[in-house]
Chain A
């Protein structure tokens, strides 16, 4: 299972991009917050939907898939068993930029 580590940043940090003909599944999440304050992490999914009758000229959308607040000094881990689906690009966004907070995302494509 591939995984990627990013540091907490208020700018979106790309964890992975799902190939067009695949569906991404987040399998595992670890947030090691060694910064001096609590940090809220948001996992987002950015993609462009297909043109539909309701929206014939779609533009890129970003959907929040999971939001977690981790207290200072804590190491949060969660085995997700694939219930978070990612359709496009998975980004990690934090409410604070701090390299002492590391986020590990384990994922797979189906």
Chain B
């Protein structure tokens, strides 16, 4: 659902398959459901923020249109960042729950505490705009994915977030059809990654 790669990952193509695992995603997308990609369309979408020093804001990806409104659509989103060299992004899913944290109970991201500020963040070096390495999958009615954005610098900073949205039209496979599929992309629910 949210993943950071070491290289820009390839986009899904028509006639490929996706399988949702780990937990139910929504009422329409249950654990184990498998779909064929029927069609794709690529859309570039940019959002810009200017943040004061030592201040933060949050963005719900649903509020800026990064969730499909159709139950048969999957958004595969590559996120690249430009500028904002001192802006740290902490993904939360669902709201209030940091996606990336260590197992030690006290080691969770907290930008208000210098010792915890540099845990589980994403910045422009992690996923540069020309080589995006952060990938997110969304479907209609998925739980909120929130970006907390904190300016760790000493001046105002401008961050451009470039979203390359691969809009995928899904065709559901029957259980019998899904059993025949050996090669598919596994889309893991966040609960499978936050054990």
Contact = CB atoms under 8 A, between A and B. Distances in A.
Contact of B55 (A23, A54, A110): A54
Contacts, number: 46
A33 B109 CA distance: 53
Interface residues of A, number: 19
B1 interface: no
Among B46, B50, B54, B83, the most chain A Cβ lie within 10 Å of the Cβ of: B50
B16 interface: no
Nearest to A18: B158
A54 B150 CA distance: 11
Among A49, A50, A51, A61, the most chain B Cβ lie within 10 Å of the Cβ of: A50
B49 A50 contact: yes
A103 interface: no
Contacts of B55: 52-55
A49 B160 contact: no
A21 B158 CA distance: 9
Interface in B43-60: 46, 48-52, 54-57
Interface in A59-110: 61, 63, 85, 87-88, 110
Contact of B46 (A21, A52, A55): A21
Contacts of B48: 20-21
24 contacts: A23-B82, A23-B158, A47-B50, A47-B156, A48-B50, A49-B50, A49-B52, A50-B50, A50-B57, A51-B57, A52-B55, A53-B56, A53-B57, A54-B54, A54-B56, A55-B52, A55-B55, A63-B155, A63-B156, A85-B158, A87-B50, A88-B50, A110-B82, A110-B83
